Amino acid sequence: MHPEQPDRSKFPNDFIWGVSTSAPQTEGGATDGSRGASIWDEFQSRGLFFRKKIEPGITCDFLHRYKEDIDIIHQLGIRNFRLSIAWPRILPDGKGKVNQAGIDFYRRVFDYCLSKGITPWVTLYHWDLPLTLEKEGGWTNRASVEWFCDYVRVCIDSFKDQVRHWMVMNEPLVFTGAGYFIGVHAPGRRGMNHFLPALHHALLAQGKGSRLIRSLQPEAMIGSTFSCSQLTPYNDTDNDKAAVQRMDALLNRLMIEPALGLGYPIAELPVLKRLENSMQPGDEKDLIADFDFVGVQNYTREVVTASRWVPYLGAKLVPAKKRAVPYTEMGWEIHPSSIYEMIKQFSSYPQVKKLFVTENGASFRDQLVNGQVDDQNRIAYFKGYISQMQKAVHDGFPVKGYFVWSLTDNFEWAEAYKQRFGLVYIDFSTQARTIKNSGYWYTNFLKQ
């Protein structure tokens, strides 16, 4: 692979460059500071979809090492840090009594970021639902909308003097689809009867949560992040092209369009008619979010073929491994133009005035050798994708920033600690940090 060389000078001076993490993947301290249990604590301790049970642990120990990690961000010359707040650290039971120790921790984190000239971009929900709420039905319970809004209110009241940039949710399709339909993520539920109410309630919470932030902090910059993939047909046939349209409705349109006031894509996915069972008067309006920006999270392209054996969808993905194309350790195709195509697609909505790439990155089999991690494959990945983002800027699409996923290697959900996405290598036996060559490359690129 011989990627193009991106040119930093071709981006506007006010273009935002940053790096991303999340609390459940890095923070650790599952029982420290009066934190309550999350659905991920319980899920991983059950051992489902892992090779072995994994007790809730320290992950990257950000809880105690946040200054060290923020110092690394500062050392790398990165001025924007996307991180999340852990709901069970703020409200251990998901609702009710506020945990002051949790409030104090995040205030220390945000203060330290600001002292280093680093702007915090904060995600309110990055998949760590308090376990007590899951026992009451989790996102399948319509009460989850009010639970979430109560949590949002506590966060805004507590941190609005430190944080201006808020993301309401991270990838609602993933946490509802993987968690409530196919069961490979927490809480491990399966079936359309769980998935449809969960997605509807999550999107209601996103819409109401965004408007609540606006009412409490009118000057805030508010958005949410959406997973997306460029989709192309496996064969140049009408059946595969139609399969692409159905897959696009599921993977790229299902979550963003209701938030923009366009409703659910029922024409392409008739099974969504079942959402009528969860809809109440006024829901169509309440789904609409008050966004200043949309976060696009793209890693790959997917190739689609028709399949009558796949229920509801009639389509399936053809893995990169079967197509003789380059791919990452996650099995995701390396296809840089996918980020351009998704910026283009999301920019086509008139309601989207500003767009940020809030996640992009790659997992490879990194090795620490003589104190160095020479991850040239990741550097090549960044060169290709950032070059395509540069093209999007040149072509006039409203993309205003880019965040690498991720700062450090971390707990990668159902993949546990097998997958490494970080600019910083972590030895999980010692918690020692080593900046990879990709981290130094990113620094040098930003200095151009």
* CB under 8 A, 24+ apart: contacts of 239-248: 239/306, 240/304, 240/305, 240/306, 242/306, 243/304, 243/305, 243/306, 243/307, 243/314, 243/315, 244/304, 244/315, 246/313, 246/314, 246/315, 247/302, 247/304, 247/313, 247/315, 247/317
Catalytic residue annotation: 171, 359
Give φ, ψ of 71 to 5 degrees: -60, -40
